[in-house]
Amino acid sequence: MLSSYRVSPGGRINGRRRVPGDKSISHRSVMLGAIAGGVTRVTGFLEGADAISTMNVFRALGVVIEGPTDGAVTVHGVGLRGLRAPAEPLDCGNAGTAMRLLMGLLAGQRFGSTLVGDESLSRRPMRRVAEPLALMGARIETVDGKPPVVLQPVPELNGIEYRMPVASAQVKSALLLAGLYAHGRTVIEEPAPTRDHTERMLTAFGVRLERQGRRVAIDGGQLLRAVTRIDVPADISSAAFFLVAATIAPGSNLVLEHVGMNPTRTGVIDILLRMGADIVAENRREVGGEPVADLRVRSAPLTGIPIGPDLVPLAIDEFPVLFVAAACAQGRTVVTGAEELRVKESDRIAVMADGLRALGVTATPTPDGMVIEGRADQAHVFDGGSVESHGDHRIAMAFTVAGLRARGSIEIRDTRNVATSFPGFVQAAQAAGIGIEEVSLP
Ligand code: S3P
Protein backbone atom coordinates (compact mmCIF):
# COMPACT_ATOMS: atom_id res chain seq x y z
CA MET A 1 0.00 0.00 0.00
CA LEU A 2 1.17 3.51 -0.84
CA SER A 3 0.70 6.43 1.54
CA SER A 4 -1.05 9.03 -0.58
CA TYR A 5 -3.26 12.14 -0.38
CA ARG A 6 -6.78 12.83 -1.52
CA VAL A 7 -7.50 16.53 -1.95
CA SER A 8 -11.11 17.68 -2.28
CA PRO A 9 -11.70 20.59 -4.63
CA GLY A 10 -12.01 24.25 -3.65
CA GLY A 11 -11.31 26.12 -0.43
CA ARG A 12 -9.66 29.33 0.59
CA ILE A 13 -6.55 30.01 2.67
CA ASN A 14 -6.67 32.12 5.81
CA GLY A 15 -4.96 32.74 9.13
CA ARG A 16 -1.39 33.04 10.35
CA ARG A 17 1.11 30.23 10.35
CA ARG A 18 4.76 29.41 10.67
CA VAL A 19 6.05 26.64 8.42
CA PRO A 20 8.92 24.39 9.60
CA GLY A 21 12.56 25.48 9.73
CA ASP A 22 14.78 26.03 6.72
CA LYS A 23 16.24 22.76 5.46
CA SER A 24 19.47 24.24 4.08
CA ILE A 25 20.23 26.15 7.28
CA SER A 26 19.29 23.18 9.50
CA HIS A 27 21.75 20.88 7.70
CA ARG A 28 24.51 23.46 7.96
CA SER A 29 23.87 24.22 11.65
CA VAL A 30 24.68 20.61 12.55
CA MET A 31 27.63 20.33 10.17
CA LEU A 32 29.37 23.52 11.25
CA GLY A 33 28.38 23.08 14.91
CA ALA A 34 29.99 19.61 14.81
CA ILE A 35 33.40 20.79 13.55
CA ALA A 36 33.48 23.90 15.75
CA GLY A 37 35.05 24.19 19.16
CA GLY A 38 32.33 24.63 21.80
CA VAL A 39 28.58 24.18 22.06
CA THR A 40 26.06 25.41 19.48
CA ARG A 41 22.41 25.71 20.41
CA VAL A 42 19.96 25.67 17.52
CA THR A 43 16.29 26.65 17.67
CA GLY A 44 13.70 26.36 14.90
CA PHE A 45 15.56 23.28 13.56
CA LEU A 46 13.71 21.37 10.83
CA GLU A 47 12.57 18.10 12.39
CA GLY A 48 12.25 16.56 8.94
CA ALA A 49 13.83 13.32 7.79
CA ASP A 50 16.56 15.06 5.74
CA ALA A 51 17.96 17.14 8.60
CA ILE A 52 17.61 14.17 10.96
CA SER A 53 19.74 12.13 8.53
CA THR A 54 22.49 14.72 8.88
CA MET A 55 22.21 14.60 12.68
CA ASN A 56 22.52 10.83 12.67
CA VAL A 57 25.54 10.93 10.37
CA PHE A 58 27.37 13.25 12.77
CA ARG A 59 26.42 11.06 15.72
CA ALA A 60 28.03 8.18 13.81
CA LEU A 61 31.12 10.40 13.43
CA GLY A 62 31.36 10.70 17.21
CA VAL A 63 29.57 14.00 17.81
CA VAL A 64 27.19 14.31 20.76
CA ILE A 65 23.97 15.97 19.61
CA GLU A 66 20.93 16.50 21.84
CA GLY A 67 17.44 16.79 20.40
CA PRO A 68 15.54 17.68 18.38
CA THR A 69 12.96 18.67 20.98
CA ASP A 70 10.44 21.21 19.71
CA GLY A 71 13.03 22.44 17.22
CA ALA A 72 15.82 22.72 19.81
CA VAL A 73 19.11 20.98 19.05
CA THR A 74 22.39 21.20 20.96
CA VAL A 75 25.58 20.28 19.12
CA HIS A 76 28.71 19.57 21.18
CA GLY A 77 31.39 20.52 18.69
CA VAL A 78 34.51 18.34 18.44
CA GLY A 79 36.69 20.80 16.52
CA LEU A 80 38.05 20.70 12.97
CA ARG A 81 40.04 17.46 13.50
CA GLY A 82 37.80 15.84 16.10
CA LEU A 83 35.53 13.66 13.96
CA ARG A 84 36.00 9.89 14.43
CA ALA A 85 36.01 7.11 11.86
CA PRO A 86 32.47 5.74 11.46
CA ALA A 87 31.90 2.02 12.04
CA GLU A 88 29.38 1.69 9.20
CA PRO A 89 28.31 3.42 5.97
CA LEU A 90 26.78 6.83 6.61
CA ASP A 91 23.14 6.95 5.53
CA CYS A 92 22.05 10.25 3.98
CA GLY A 93 18.51 8.99 3.29
CA ASN A 94 16.79 11.18 0.67
CA ALA A 95 19.04 14.21 1.31
CA GLY A 96 21.21 15.41 -1.58
CA THR A 97 22.42 18.33 0.52
CA ALA A 98 23.63 15.97 3.23
CA MET A 99 25.53 13.75 0.82
CA ARG A 100 27.15 16.48 -1.27
CA LEU A 101 28.21 18.68 1.65
CA LEU A 102 29.47 15.63 3.55
CA MET A 103 31.60 14.64 0.56
CA GLY A 104 33.40 17.98 0.93
CA LEU A 105 33.64 17.76 4.69
CA LEU A 106 34.86 14.16 4.77
CA ALA A 107 37.18 14.26 1.74
CA GLY A 108 40.02 15.72 3.77
CA GLN A 109 39.71 13.48 6.84
CA ARG A 110 42.44 11.09 7.88
CA PHE A 111 39.89 8.26 7.97
CA GLY A 112 37.82 6.74 5.22
CA SER A 113 34.05 6.66 4.98
CA THR A 114 31.20 5.55 2.73
CA LEU A 115 28.09 7.59 1.99
CA VAL A 116 24.86 5.85 0.98
CA GLY A 117 21.32 7.05 0.29
CA ASP A 118 17.82 5.89 -0.57
CA GLU A 119 16.66 4.83 -4.03
CA SER A 120 16.13 8.43 -5.27
CA LEU A 121 19.45 9.74 -3.92
CA SER A 122 21.23 6.70 -5.37
CA ARG A 123 20.24 7.91 -8.84
CA ARG A 124 21.53 11.48 -8.41
CA PRO A 125 24.78 12.84 -9.89
CA MET A 126 27.74 13.11 -7.52
CA ARG A 127 30.50 13.65 -10.09
CA ARG A 128 29.94 17.40 -9.93
CA VAL A 129 31.37 17.24 -6.39
CA ALA A 130 33.73 14.28 -6.76
CA GLU A 131 35.61 15.81 -9.72
CA PRO A 132 36.70 19.11 -8.15
CA LEU A 133 37.43 17.30 -4.87
CA ALA A 134 39.72 14.92 -6.79
CA LEU A 135 41.54 17.99 -8.14
CA MET A 136 42.14 18.96 -4.51
CA GLY A 137 43.73 15.54 -3.90
CA ALA A 138 40.74 13.63 -2.53
CA ARG A 139 40.38 9.93 -3.28
CA ILE A 140 36.74 9.29 -4.10
CA GLU A 141 35.00 6.40 -5.79
CA THR A 142 31.44 6.41 -7.07
CA VAL A 143 29.45 3.95 -9.12
CA ASP A 144 29.39 5.63 -12.51
CA GLY A 145 29.11 9.03 -10.84
CA LYS A 146 26.33 7.90 -8.48
CA PRO A 147 26.23 6.78 -4.82
CA PRO A 148 27.46 4.92 -2.88
CA VAL A 149 30.39 7.31 -2.49
CA VAL A 150 33.57 5.85 -1.00
CA LEU A 151 36.10 8.30 0.43
CA GLN A 152 39.61 7.07 1.15
CA PRO A 153 41.74 8.80 3.78
CA VAL A 154 44.27 11.35 2.52
CA PRO A 155 47.01 13.15 4.47
CA GLU A 156 45.96 16.56 3.20
CA LEU A 157 44.04 18.33 0.44
CA ASN A 158 45.36 21.21 -1.63
CA GLY A 159 43.52 24.42 -2.38
CA ILE A 160 42.43 24.91 -5.99
CA GLU A 161 40.88 27.58 -8.14
CA TYR A 162 37.71 26.15 -9.59
CA ARG A 163 35.15 27.53 -11.98
CA MET A 164 31.93 25.61 -11.40
CA PRO A 165 30.19 24.45 -14.59
CA VAL A 166 26.76 24.25 -12.85
CA ALA A 167 25.20 26.88 -10.58
CA SER A 168 24.95 24.71 -7.47
CA ALA A 169 25.10 25.80 -3.85
CA GLN A 170 25.76 22.21 -2.87
CA VAL A 171 28.89 22.01 -5.00
CA LYS A 172 30.08 25.43 -3.78
CA SER A 173 29.45 24.46 -0.15
CA ALA A 174 31.21 21.11 -0.49
CA LEU A 175 34.30 22.86 -1.86
CA LEU A 176 34.24 25.49 0.89
CA LEU A 177 34.11 22.75 3.52
CA ALA A 178 36.90 20.82 1.82
CA GLY A 179 38.81 24.11 1.62
CA LEU A 180 38.86 24.23 5.42
CA TYR A 181 40.91 21.02 5.36
CA ALA A 182 43.14 22.08 2.46
CA HIS A 183 46.62 23.46 2.35
CA GLY A 184 46.50 27.02 1.04
CA ARG A 185 43.63 28.86 -0.54
CA THR A 186 40.56 27.51 -2.34
CA VAL A 187 38.85 29.86 -4.77
CA ILE A 188 35.44 29.01 -6.23
CA GLU A 189 33.68 30.85 -9.00
CA GLU A 190 29.99 30.22 -9.68
CA PRO A 191 28.32 30.83 -13.03
CA ALA A 192 25.32 32.50 -11.34
CA PRO A 193 24.57 33.43 -7.72
CA THR A 194 23.31 30.52 -5.61
CA ARG A 195 22.19 30.34 -1.99
CA ASP A 196 24.90 31.60 0.35
CA HIS A 197 23.94 30.08 3.70
CA THR A 198 27.29 28.31 4.00
CA GLU A 199 29.21 31.54 3.54
CA ARG A 200 27.02 33.39 6.05
CA MET A 201 27.23 30.66 8.65
CA LEU A 202 30.98 30.10 8.24
CA THR A 203 31.43 33.83 8.82
CA ALA A 204 29.28 33.62 11.96
CA PHE A 205 31.55 30.78 13.17
CA GLY A 206 34.54 33.12 12.82
CA VAL A 207 35.91 31.88 9.49
CA ARG A 208 37.33 34.53 7.16
CA LEU A 209 36.05 34.37 3.58
CA GLU A 210 36.78 36.73 0.75
CA ARG A 211 33.86 37.36 -1.54
CA GLN A 212 34.15 39.24 -4.77
CA GLY A 213 31.29 39.09 -7.24
CA ARG A 214 30.81 35.45 -8.11
CA ARG A 215 34.08 34.35 -6.50
CA VAL A 216 34.57 33.22 -2.93
CA ALA A 217 37.92 32.30 -1.37
CA ILE A 218 38.73 30.42 1.83
CA ASP A 219 42.09 29.74 3.47
CA GLY A 220 42.57 26.25 4.89
CA GLY A 221 43.19 25.41 8.53
CA GLN A 222 40.87 28.02 10.03
CA LEU A 223 39.23 26.94 13.26
CA LEU A 224 35.50 27.40 13.84
CA ARG A 225 34.30 28.94 17.10
CA ALA A 226 30.87 27.71 18.17
CA VAL A 227 27.99 30.10 17.60
CA THR A 228 26.14 29.99 20.89
CA ARG A 229 22.74 30.33 19.22
CA ILE A 230 21.38 29.73 15.73
CA ASP A 231 17.73 30.66 15.18
CA VAL A 232 16.60 28.88 12.00
CA PRO A 233 13.95 30.88 10.09
CA ALA A 234 10.93 29.22 8.49
CA ASP A 235 11.80 27.67 5.13
CA ILE A 236 10.79 29.89 2.20
CA SER A 237 10.71 26.73 0.08
CA SER A 238 7.96 25.33 2.34
CA ALA A 239 6.25 28.73 2.61
CA ALA A 240 6.09 28.77 -1.21
CA PHE A 241 3.26 26.19 -1.26
CA PHE A 242 1.12 28.50 0.85
CA LEU A 243 2.17 31.61 -1.10
CA VAL A 244 0.81 30.00 -4.25
CA ALA A 245 -2.19 28.46 -2.45
CA ALA A 246 -3.37 31.82 -1.08
CA THR A 247 -2.68 33.53 -4.40
CA ILE A 248 -4.76 31.14 -6.53
CA ALA A 249 -7.65 30.49 -4.09
CA PRO A 250 -10.12 33.38 -4.31
CA GLY A 251 -10.94 35.10 -1.00
CA SER A 252 -7.65 34.17 0.69
CA ASN A 253 -5.66 36.28 3.14
CA LEU A 254 -2.76 34.61 4.91
CA VAL A 255 0.27 35.63 6.96
CA LEU A 256 3.34 33.40 6.97
CA GLU A 257 5.52 34.18 9.96
CA HIS A 258 9.29 34.43 10.33
CA VAL A 259 10.13 33.39 6.76
CA GLY A 260 13.78 33.37 5.72
CA MET A 261 14.27 36.16 3.15
CA ASN A 262 17.87 35.59 2.13
CA PRO A 263 18.10 37.33 -1.27
CA THR A 264 19.61 34.17 -2.78
CA ARG A 265 16.33 32.36 -1.95
CA THR A 266 13.57 34.87 -2.71
CA GLY A 267 13.27 34.21 -6.47
CA VAL A 268 9.85 32.63 -5.88
CA ILE A 269 8.51 35.92 -4.52
CA ASP A 270 10.02 37.92 -7.39
CA ILE A 271 8.51 35.53 -9.94
CA LEU A 272 5.06 35.55 -8.30
CA LEU A 273 5.11 39.36 -8.05
CA ARG A 274 5.97 39.60 -11.74
CA MET A 275 2.99 37.34 -12.44
CA GLY A 276 0.75 39.73 -10.48
CA ALA A 277 0.68 38.21 -6.98
CA ASP A 278 -0.14 40.32 -3.92
CA ILE A 279 2.63 39.52 -1.44
CA VAL A 280 3.85 42.05 1.11
CA ALA A 281 6.84 41.56 3.42
CA GLU A 282 6.10 42.98 6.87
CA ASN A 283 8.22 43.29 10.00
CA ARG A 284 11.56 42.78 8.20
CA ARG A 285 14.38 41.94 10.60
CA GLU A 286 17.67 40.07 10.75
CA VAL A 287 18.14 36.92 12.81
CA GLY A 288 21.61 35.42 13.18
CA GLY A 289 22.92 36.83 9.89
CA GLU A 290 19.83 35.85 7.86
CA PRO A 291 17.07 38.30 6.89
CA VAL A 292 13.55 37.31 7.98
CA ALA A 293 10.05 38.76 7.45
CA ASP A 294 6.36 37.98 7.86
CA LEU A 295 4.72 37.57 4.48
CA ARG A 296 1.13 38.67 3.92
CA VAL A 297 -0.43 37.16 0.81
CA ARG A 298 -3.87 37.82 -0.63
CA SER A 299 -5.45 36.17 -3.66
CA ALA A 300 -4.73 37.84 -6.99
CA PRO A 301 -5.12 37.11 -10.69
CA LEU A 302 -1.89 35.91 -12.32
CA THR A 303 -0.48 36.43 -15.79
CA GLY A 304 1.88 34.03 -17.59
CA ILE A 305 5.46 35.30 -18.03
CA PRO A 306 8.79 34.13 -19.43
CA ILE A 307 11.07 32.81 -16.64
CA GLY A 308 14.68 32.73 -17.82
CA PRO A 309 17.96 31.29 -16.51
CA ASP A 310 18.77 34.38 -14.41
CA LEU A 311 15.82 33.63 -12.10
CA VAL A 312 16.25 29.86 -11.93
CA PRO A 313 18.90 29.29 -9.23
CA LEU A 314 17.16 31.72 -6.87
CA ALA A 315 13.91 29.74 -7.04
CA ILE A 316 15.24 26.29 -7.94
CA ASP A 317 13.19 24.29 -5.40
CA GLU A 318 9.97 26.24 -6.00
CA PHE A 319 9.35 25.30 -9.64
CA PRO A 320 6.89 22.47 -8.97
CA VAL A 321 4.50 24.87 -7.27
CA LEU A 322 5.33 27.69 -9.70
CA PHE A 323 4.19 25.40 -12.52
CA VAL A 324 0.86 25.07 -10.68
CA ALA A 325 0.67 28.87 -10.41
CA ALA A 326 1.41 29.15 -14.15
CA ALA A 327 -1.50 26.81 -14.94
CA CYS A 328 -3.78 29.23 -13.03
CA ALA A 329 -2.49 32.28 -14.92
CA GLN A 330 -3.82 34.14 -17.93
CA GLY A 331 -1.64 33.31 -20.93
CA ARG A 332 1.51 31.33 -21.45
CA THR A 333 4.45 30.77 -19.08
CA VAL A 334 7.75 29.69 -20.62
CA VAL A 335 10.51 28.42 -18.32
CA THR A 336 14.02 28.10 -19.78
CA GLY A 337 17.47 27.38 -18.37
CA ALA A 338 16.08 25.06 -15.72
CA GLU A 339 17.66 21.75 -16.79
CA GLU A 340 18.84 21.22 -13.18
CA LEU A 341 15.23 20.37 -12.35
CA ARG A 342 15.80 17.07 -14.11
CA VAL A 343 18.27 15.88 -11.44
CA LYS A 344 16.39 16.77 -8.26
CA GLU A 345 14.60 14.24 -6.03
CA SER A 346 12.78 13.31 -9.26
CA ASP A 347 12.96 14.62 -12.84
CA ARG A 348 10.77 17.57 -11.93
CA ILE A 349 10.23 18.65 -15.54
CA ALA A 350 8.93 15.25 -16.66
CA VAL A 351 7.00 14.46 -13.50
CA MET A 352 5.27 17.86 -13.28
CA ALA A 353 4.42 17.87 -16.99
CA ASP A 354 2.88 14.37 -16.70
CA GLY A 355 0.86 15.40 -13.64
CA LEU A 356 -0.36 18.68 -15.13
CA ARG A 357 -1.42 16.91 -18.31
CA ALA A 358 -3.24 14.23 -16.31
CA LEU A 359 -5.23 17.11 -14.79
CA GLY A 360 -6.12 18.61 -18.17
CA VAL A 361 -3.48 21.35 -18.44
CA THR A 362 -1.55 21.88 -21.69
CA ALA A 363 2.03 21.59 -20.47
CA THR A 364 4.91 20.86 -22.85
CA PRO A 365 8.21 19.75 -21.35
CA THR A 366 11.39 20.99 -23.04
CA PRO A 367 14.97 19.83 -22.36
CA ASP A 368 15.53 22.82 -20.03
CA GLY A 369 12.07 23.84 -18.87
CA MET A 370 8.40 23.83 -19.72
CA VAL A 371 5.74 25.73 -21.62
CA ILE A 372 2.43 25.98 -19.78
CA GLU A 373 -0.79 27.38 -21.22
CA GLY A 374 -2.58 29.16 -18.38
CA ARG A 375 -6.26 28.42 -17.87
CA ALA A 376 -7.32 31.47 -15.86
CA ASP A 377 -10.38 31.83 -18.07
CA GLN A 378 -11.73 28.37 -17.08
CA ALA A 379 -14.04 28.00 -14.10
CA HIS A 380 -11.80 25.15 -12.98
CA VAL A 381 -8.14 25.14 -13.90
CA PHE A 382 -7.54 21.47 -13.10
CA ASP A 383 -9.66 18.40 -13.75
CA GLY A 384 -9.93 15.91 -10.95
CA GLY A 385 -7.71 12.85 -11.32
CA SER A 386 -4.73 10.94 -10.11
CA VAL A 387 -1.07 12.03 -10.23
CA GLU A 388 2.19 10.30 -9.34
CA SER A 389 4.68 12.15 -7.10
CA HIS A 390 7.46 9.62 -7.79
CA GLY A 391 8.35 9.91 -4.12
CA ASP A 392 9.25 13.59 -4.53
CA HIS A 393 8.11 15.73 -1.58
CA ARG A 394 7.77 18.97 -3.50
CA ILE A 395 5.77 17.36 -6.33
CA ALA A 396 3.31 15.96 -3.78
CA MET A 397 2.86 19.34 -2.07
CA ALA A 398 2.55 21.23 -5.38
CA PHE A 399 -0.36 19.04 -6.55
CA THR A 400 -2.02 19.43 -3.15
CA VAL A 401 -2.17 23.17 -3.85
CA ALA A 402 -3.70 22.50 -7.29
CA GLY A 403 -6.76 21.04 -5.52
CA LEU A 404 -7.85 24.58 -4.62
CA ARG A 405 -8.75 25.25 -8.27
CA ALA A 406 -9.84 21.78 -9.33
CA ARG A 407 -13.16 20.50 -10.62
CA GLY A 408 -12.98 17.20 -8.76
CA SER A 409 -10.78 15.59 -6.16
CA ILE A 410 -7.12 14.96 -6.89
CA GLU A 411 -5.37 11.82 -5.72
CA ILE A 412 -1.60 12.20 -5.18
CA ARG A 413 0.24 8.90 -5.01
CA ASP A 414 3.32 8.15 -2.90
CA THR A 415 3.59 11.03 -0.44
CA ARG A 416 5.81 9.46 2.24
CA ASN A 417 8.73 11.76 1.46
CA VAL A 418 6.82 14.93 2.27
CA ALA A 419 8.20 14.37 5.77
CA THR A 420 11.75 14.96 4.47
CA SER A 421 11.18 18.72 4.32
CA PHE A 422 7.74 19.45 5.77
CA PRO A 423 6.75 17.32 8.76
CA GLY A 424 3.11 18.07 9.66
CA PHE A 425 2.24 19.24 6.14
CA VAL A 426 -1.19 17.56 6.13
CA GLN A 427 -2.21 19.21 9.41
CA ALA A 428 -0.81 22.60 8.29
CA ALA A 429 -2.65 22.40 4.95
CA GLN A 430 -5.91 21.37 6.67
CA ALA A 431 -5.63 24.20 9.20
CA ALA A 432 -5.00 26.70 6.39
CA GLY A 433 -8.13 25.60 4.52
CA ILE A 434 -7.15 22.80 2.11
CA GLY A 435 -9.39 19.70 2.04
CA ILE A 436 -6.59 17.14 2.27
CA GLU A 437 -6.74 13.67 3.79
CA GLU A 438 -4.19 10.88 4.00
CA VAL A 439 -5.18 7.65 2.29
CA SER A 440 -3.57 4.28 1.56
CA LEU A 441 -3.73 3.26 -2.08
CA PRO A 442 -2.84 -0.05 -3.69
C1 S3P B 1 20.60 23.23 -1.55
C2 S3P B 1 20.94 23.61 -2.83
C3 S3P B 1 20.11 23.34 -4.02
C4 S3P B 1 18.68 22.97 -3.63
C5 S3P B 1 18.64 21.98 -2.51
C6 S3P B 1 19.32 22.54 -1.27
C7 S3P B 1 21.50 23.54 -0.43
O8 S3P B 1 20.68 22.26 -4.75
O9 S3P B 1 17.99 22.46 -4.75
O10 S3P B 1 17.30 21.65 -2.18
O11 S3P B 1 21.08 23.44 0.74
O12 S3P B 1 22.66 23.90 -0.69
P13 S3P B 1 21.79 22.49 -5.88
O14 S3P B 1 22.99 23.03 -5.23
O15 S3P B 1 22.02 21.12 -6.45
O16 S3P B 1 21.17 23.43 -6.88
Residue 28: pLDDT band (50, 70, 90) is: very high
> Ligand 1 atom closest to Cα of 317?
9
Contact assessment for residue 97 and residue 170, using Cβ atoms and an 8 Å cutoff: yes
Q: 24: closest CA among 230, 242, 300, 308?
A: 230
The rounded Cα 396 to chain-centroid distance in angstroms is 15
Residue 26: pLDDT band (50, 70, 90) is: very high
pLDDT of residue 379: 85
Mean pLDDT of 78-92: 98
Q: Do residues 177 and 259 both lie within one domain?
A: no
Instruction: Give the domain-ending residue among 200, 230, 260.
Output: 230
Kind of pairing between the strands at 363-366 and 369-373: antiparallel
Contact assessment for residue 370 and residue 348, using Cβ atoms and an 8 Å cutoff: no
Q: Do residues 324 and 396 both lie within one domain?
A: yes
Q: Do residues 181 and 327 both lie within one domain?
A: no
Cα–Cα distance measured from residue 100 to residue 120, given in angstroms and rounded to the nearest whole number: 14
- Adjacency order of strands within the sheet including 139-143: 90-91, 113-116, 146-152, 139-143
Q: pLDDT tens, 395-412?
A: 999 999 999 999 999 999
Instruction: Give the domain-ending residue among 230, 256, 273.
Output: 230
Q: Do residues 292 and 209 both lie within one domain?
A: no
Contact assessment for residue 7 and residue 406, using Cβ atoms and an 8 Å cutoff: yes
Q: Do residues 265 and 217 both lie within one domain?
A: no
If you take atom 5 of ligand 1, which residue's CA is the nearest one? 97
Give residue 173 CA to ligand 1 midpoint distance, Å.
10
Does a cis peptide bond (omega within 30 degrees of 0) precede residue 68? yes
How confident is the prediction for the chain on average, in pLDDT? 97
DSSP 8-state code for residue 331: S
If you take atom 13 of ligand 1, which residue's CA is the nearest one? 168
Kind of pairing between the strands at 14-17 and 253-260: parallel
Domains: count for the chain: 2
Q: Do residues 296 and 427 both lie within one domain?
A: yes
Does a cis peptide bond (omega within 30 degrees of 0) precede residue 320? no
| pTM metric for this prediction | 0.98
Q: Do residues 437 and 391 both lie within one domain?
A: yes
Q: Which residue range is the domain that position 399 belongs to?
A: 2-20+233-441
Contact assessment for residue 17 and residue 242, using Cβ atoms and an 8 Å cutoff: yes
Contact assessment for residue 185 and residue 159, using Cβ atoms and an 8 Å cutoff: yes
- Opening angle at CA 429, ends 427 and 431, nearest 5: 65
3-state secondary structure of 268: helix
Contact assessment for residue 12 and residue 433, using Cβ atoms and an 8 Å cutoff: yes
Mean pLDDT of 194-203: 97
Q: Do residues 173 and 256 both lie within one domain?
A: no
Mean pLDDT of 153-166: 96
Cα–Cα distance measured from residue 251 to residue 243, given in angstroms and rounded to the nearest whole number: 14
Q: Is 316 in the pocket of ligand 1 (CB under 6 A)?
A: yes
Q: Is 24 in the pocket of ligand 1 (CB under 6 A)?
A: yes
pLDDT of residue 423: 98
Q: Do residues 355 and 216 both lie within one domain?
A: no
Q: Is 101 in the pocket of ligand 1 (CB under 6 A)?
A: no
Q: Is 341 in the pocket of ligand 1 (CB under 6 A)?
A: no
pLDDT of residue 228: 80
- The secondary element (H helix, E strand) that includes residue 33 is helix 23-34
Mean pLDDT of 239-256: 98
3-state secondary structure of 437: strand
pLDDT of residue 364: 98
- 293 beta partners: 259
Q: 375: closest CA among 418, 406, 354?
A: 406
pLDDT of residue 227: 81
Give residue 195 CA to ligand 1 midpoint distance, Å.
8
In the residue annotation, 294 being an active-site residue is answered as: no
The rounded Cα 356 to chain-centroid distance in angstroms is 22
Mean pLDDT of 364-374: 98
Residue 30: pLDDT band (50, 70, 90) is: very high
pLDDT of residue 9: 98
Q: Do residues 107 and 179 both lie within one domain?
A: yes
Whether residue 420 is predicted with pLDDT greater than 90 in this model: the reply is yes
Q: pLDDT tens, 300-334?
A: 999 999 999 999 999 999 999 999 999 999 999 99
Instruction: Give the domain-ending residue among 211, 230, 249.
Output: 230
Whether residue 288 is predicted with pLDDT greater than 90 in this model: the reply is no
Cα–Cα distance measured from residue 404 to residue 254, given in angstroms and rounded to the nearest whole number: 15
Contact assessment for residue 86 and residue 109, using Cβ atoms and an 8 Å cutoff: no
CATH of the domain at 185: 3.65.10.10
pLDDT of residue 126: 98
Give residue 2 CA to ligand 1 midpoint distance, Å.
27
Q: Do residues 31 and 10 both lie within one domain?
A: no
Percent of the chain with pLDDT over 90: 98
Contact assessment for residue 248 and residue 302, using Cβ atoms and an 8 Å cutoff: yes
Q: Do residues 223 and 240 both lie within one domain?
A: no
Cα–Cα distance measured from residue 155 to residue 106, given in angstroms and rounded to the nearest whole number: 12
- 366 beta partners: 369
